[in-house]
Amino acid sequence: MLKYHKLISFCFGLLFLIVLQKFATPLPVFRFLAPAFILYAAVMAIYNKWYLRQIQKYNFWSVLRSVMLLISAFGIFLVLPTGSLRGIFLILTVRVITLAQIVLGLSAENILLNETLLIGFGLFFALCGAYYYFPSYQPLFAVGVFLAAALLARSFYEFTPQTQKTKLVGAIILGLFCLQLYWAINFLPFSFSALAILLFLAFYFCLILNYYHLFHNLNYKKIQFHLFLIAGCTAVVLAATPWFIIQ
């Protein structure tokens, strides 16, 4: 069965499209869509655990990260405003899930970082969008931001040469920072997509600097480079915000 892993990976990606399209046409019906998605995610998690054990690379955080990828994609799907955007997104997601499944078990820094950032952006986008549609549930979404940031950071730090306590404390601190920032930026007159990008950029900046710190190679040039990168992206977000339609 291991030799068919790439084919199985594609099937999981395609199944994500089928499940969401089946229970979200013409409009998402959450009471049917949510159980179907949970069942799909559970089956995929069980397979990933089995596969990682077979190749002797099992790690709890690897399985959790694959589940968080599905949750982030599911969340983005729910907050997209039109059926055409959902259709385009589902087609792109098939490829993303397939690739993520194929490289499952690899611990290369670039793969882990790209996957972490992709999941982080999806979760923050979904949570900021959820607050836009359901503002009365802001405390619940704030908890979601904390869990998303903390769990993602902890999974990314898993392969750093530090103790479990050090990695856990760093992840919790980053989660609390994102929680406070999320609460504050919701007072800004931006669209939820712009708020999600700002939150994501702050998460990325703190995540990567602490990563360098855990490897004991953090220096001024690295801080300067990532600070300029974040500042440039923030300037683009501010410039792209349609101030003239904001009351």
Q: What is the tens place of the pLDDT at every residue in 209-225?
A: 888 888 888 788 888 88
pLDDT the model gives residue 241:
65
Q: 138 pLDDT exceeds 70? A: yes
Q: Choose the most confident range, by mean pLDDT, from 42-56, 79-93, 95-109.
A: 42-56
Give, for 29, the enclosing helix (H) or strand (E): none
pLDDT the model gives residue 10:
93
Q: What is the mean pLDDT of residues 175-197?
A: 88
232 or 14: which leads in pLDDT:
14
pLDDT the model gives residue 171:
93
Among 167, 226, 166, CA closest to 202:
226
Q: What is the mean pLDDT of residues 4-14?
A: 90
- Spans of all domains in the chain: 1-106, 108-247
pLDDT the model gives residue 226:
81
Cis peptide before 135 (omega within 30 of 0): no
* pLDDT band (50, 70, 90) for residue 244: low
pLDDT the model gives residue 1:
63
pLDDT the model gives residue 243:
58
Residue 125 near residue 75, CB atoms below 8 Å? yes
